Amino acid sequence: MTNYDVIIIGAGSVGVPAAMALAEKKLKVLVIESLFSPGQANNKKAIGGIRATHSDFGKIKVCQRSIEIFGTWQEKFGDEIGWIAGGYSFPAYTEEDEKKLKDLMKIQHSFGLNIKWISPEEYNELVPGINMDGLRGSTYSPEDGSASPLMSMNAFYFKSLESGAEYKFKENVIDLKMNSDKIAEVVTDKGSYSADFVVNAAGNYGREIGKIVGMDLPIYPDNHEAGITEPVARFFEPMVVDLRKAPGSANYYFYQNHEGQVVFCITPDPPIVGIDNDATSEFLPLCSRRMIDIYPRLTNLKVRRTWRGQYPMTPDGFPIVAKTKEIPNLINAVGMCGQGFMLGPGLGELISRIVTDELSEDDKRMLKSFDQYRDFSGMEQFK
């Protein structure tokens, strides 16, 4: 049996950047993936939004690093990954939302984030033709942006191969054999492998992997749908996140990608818990009605495709990233909720520092936000 320094279960938004960061450190890495190529589960369902403007130290720091990686990728390595620093915006149409956003901005400023409050007129310059009726202003964080989940995954995958990472596709992890308190063997439907560390980056199935070794990780995937339009000339800059609720949905968000296509997504309310990848006929009328209401200029755009995927949710909206107490060679990196694509590159590096025992004080503070042993009673703002 070949021994690896690290085996990663899952070649998704987290597993592939983690393999890239670990292989870069000259560690011998194997990624085991049940599907036929990298990024085929939730990574390719993401619409590509990337922001550092969260509400807690962990996500902010990890995503700031992710933004550096996404933002400098093409310049450093030459691959186009569709990065645009178009910014994020949360327009407020109610007094309550304005207050919530302004209160959150105080926390965000205390972490040094570049986010400001802009007037309805200034917002109309960024998103020309936005519905001004009742608009009270908007947050705007110009350093946030977007990239193509498909192109980024490809770039990270090939980079990890260059650094020596190995992959086994179409191979399903079915068992983890223990030797005293450590995982001694990762067993798949095709073979067995051993490693000094095992990283659970199994996305929707993070809980199932945990169960194999007697851990009950609170990961509950719920379904989200998204869509993409034909490409048109660029006509607005930032991601627009409308926080208001409407019958059948909570927030929704959309932006124009590097090819001019408008990509959009809505949060069903109540959540549709489970894993069901069949797109529905309800999503498009529900989402497009709301988008056209806030931004009438979208009216004549033709939608090319819709799809459905999952957010691997935790009860409080924060991921679980931890070297486990019970099994010292198991690292869980699961429960990415709706933000695994943006967290991936920063988390990949953090995971590599867990493995090599090079955690800085900041890293330890970040990991507190993602602690597996927290009580999950808090709630991430705007998850």
Ligand X SMILES: Cc1cc2nc3c(=O)[nH]c(=O)nc-3n(C[C@H](O)[C@H](O)[C@H](O)COP(=O)(O)OP(=O)(O)OC[C@H]3O[C@@H](n4cnc5c(N)ncnc54)[C@H](O)[C@@H]3O)c2cc1C
Site for ligand X, rule CB under 6 A: 9-15, 32-35, 40-43, 45-49, 172-173, 201-205, 224, 226, 265, 309-312, 336, 338-342
Question: What is Dmax (Cα atoms) for the chain?
Answer: 66
Q: What are 225's strand-pairing partners?
A: 266, 308
For the bound state, the minimum distance from the C-beta of residue 54 to ligand X, rounded and expressed in Å, comes to 11
**Of 7 and 98, CB closest to ligand X:** 7
For the bound state, the minimum distance from the C-beta of residue 310 to ligand X, rounded and expressed in Å, comes to 5
**Of 64 and 310, CB closest to ligand X:** 310
**Of 15 and 91, CB closest to ligand X:** 15
**Of 68 and 96, CB closest to ligand X:** 68
For the bound state, the minimum distance from the C-beta of residue 12 to ligand X, rounded and expressed in Å, comes to 2
**Of 137 and 345, CB closest to ligand X:** 345
**Of 53 and 204, CB closest to ligand X:** 204
For the bound state, the minimum distance from the C-beta of residue 342 to ligand X, rounded and expressed in Å, comes to 4
For the bound state, the minimum distance from the C-beta of residue 41 to ligand X, rounded and expressed in Å, comes to 3
Give the 3-state secondary structure of residue 244: coil
- Residue nearest ligand X, Cβ-based: 12
Please give the backbone phi and psi of residue 282, each rounded to the nearest 5 degrees, phi first.
-80, -30
- Cβ–Cβ contacts within 10 Å for residue 251, how many? 18
For the bound state, the minimum distance from the C-beta of residue 309 to ligand X, rounded and expressed in Å, comes to 3
Q: 248-256 long-range contacts, Cβ below 8 Å, gap at least 24?
A: 248/282, 248/286, 249/286, 249/287, 249/290, 251/382, 252/287, 252/290, 252/291, 253/47, 253/49, 254/291, 254/295, 254/298, 255/47, 255/48, 255/49, 255/86, 255/146, 256/86
Q: Give the residue ranges of DSSP H helices in the chain.
A: 15-24, 57-77, 95-110, 120-126, 149-162, 206-212, 283-294, 340-355, 361-369
Q: Nearest-CA neighbor of 217 among 318, 341, 308?
A: 318
